[in-house]
Amino acid sequence: MTDAEVLAGRVLDRLTASGELTPAWSAAFAAVPRHRFIPDTIWIADGAGLVPLHRCEDPHEWLQRAYASAAVITQVDDGHPVGPGERGRYITSSASHPGVVALMLAAVDAQPGMRVLEIGTGTGYNAAVLAHRLGAGKVTSIEIDAQIADHARRALASTGYPVTVITGDGAEGYPTHAPYDRIVSTAAVRQVPYAWVEQTHPGGKIVTPWGTPYHNGALVCFTVTSDGTAEGRIVGDVAFMRLRGQRFRATIDDDQCDETTARTRHTTLAPYCVTSEYDASLAIGMKVPNCAPIYVPADYYPDCARLWFIDPITGSWANLVHRPDTSTYPVHQSGPRNLWDEIENAYHWWCDAGRPGPQRWRITVTAAGQQVTLTTTSTVAQPTA
């Protein structure tokens, strides 16, 4: 056996033993060689940026990472690394963690012969797994980045998987091959494009990572009804890069984020309560729009760590100063919004609501827009605001 076959077998055994890989997808996982879809240059996070790893320079390390239990960074900065020596700042494309691929395919529940549209071709690996199970001519994949799309076409052709790869904006879907039985997105959305609903058969499913600027970590499965509505529920915990048209990049501007001119108060609500609890941060993101948290550790500042909250749309910001072994935390706020006040109120609302988990949320998409509701134990939807 080749090294690649040994590593692929270990991945298959691991996913099977953990229960992440369902029997329906086992044959496809076993058949599709993941490393054949990984570009020759990948990137590694080293604490000081994203450093390139070239296959020709270290083929052993490259192959190990191709089959590791982790995502593989395959593009940075939209294909134009901003740092010296091809160092990158932002991850803009990757091959997903094998376990995440298995989770999403299980949620898609696509059967042989179904027609599937994939949003975000990436390396082409996921499309190949779909094509192996569904059959020739059943998978269409759309990729916004022309260079990435070209790589996927070559990889799919060389491995013998007949997938139609379109270069275009996945937010628009691909009406030429519609309607689809399934649409699966490998890019996260804040707003589910209604074009996806329009292009899905009634009774069909849409599976996509979904989130807010505050919390990007939910896999949602929608079912499309005959009246053109999609009803979704959260079925997993995943974090993906967003559709390019729905990116939300919040940064700390040292010139504008001046603590000496900010409004000051104190809180006893610990920072981990509002960022480290999945259920709480999910709820806060629902209640506090256009706000992203950024944690800056103590080694960056001369005194202590800070948890920042940024709204780049209004220019509002807040931070919570975190010193170890304390129970009261200074808070600074600036701009038209008091972001910390909103976050604190949202956290207490979540507590008062019984600390609901992801299974209580429902997301509805219609031609008029998207609505998120919190269901009661009797599954009666109640507006969140």
User: Catalytic residue numbers?
Assistant: 94
* Dihedral sign (CA 73, 246, 204, 232): positive
218: DSSP letter: E
The number of residues making up the chain comes to 385
DSSP H helices in the chain: 3-18, 23-31, 59-66, 98-108, 125-134, 146-159, 194-198, 271-275, 278-287, 339-352
For residue 50, the tally of other CB atoms under 10 A from its CB is 21
Angstrom distance (rounded) from CA 193 to CA 367? 9
Pairing type for strands 116-119 and 50-54 reads unpaired
Residue 101's nearest CA partner among 71, 145, 140 is 71
**CB-based contact 342:336 (threshold 8 Å):** no
Angle between the 98-108 and 23-31 helix axes, to the nearest 10 degrees?
Answer: 130
Instruction: Kindly list the distances between the CA atom of residue 143 and the CA atoms of 61, 80, 106, 352, in Å, as whole numbers in the listed order.
Output: 28, 17, 22, 43
**CB-based contact 180:115 (threshold 8 Å):** yes
Angstrom distance (rounded) from CA 109 to CA 127? 14
Angstrom distance (rounded) from CA 373 to CA 369? 13
Angle between the 98-108 and 125-134 helix axes, to the nearest 10 degrees?
Answer: 40
The number of CA neighbours under 13 Å toward the Cβ of 300 is: 13
**CB-based contact 52:42 (threshold 8 Å):** yes
**CB-based contact 218:358 (threshold 8 Å):** yes
Q: Write down the number of H helices and E strands in the chain.
A: 10, 19
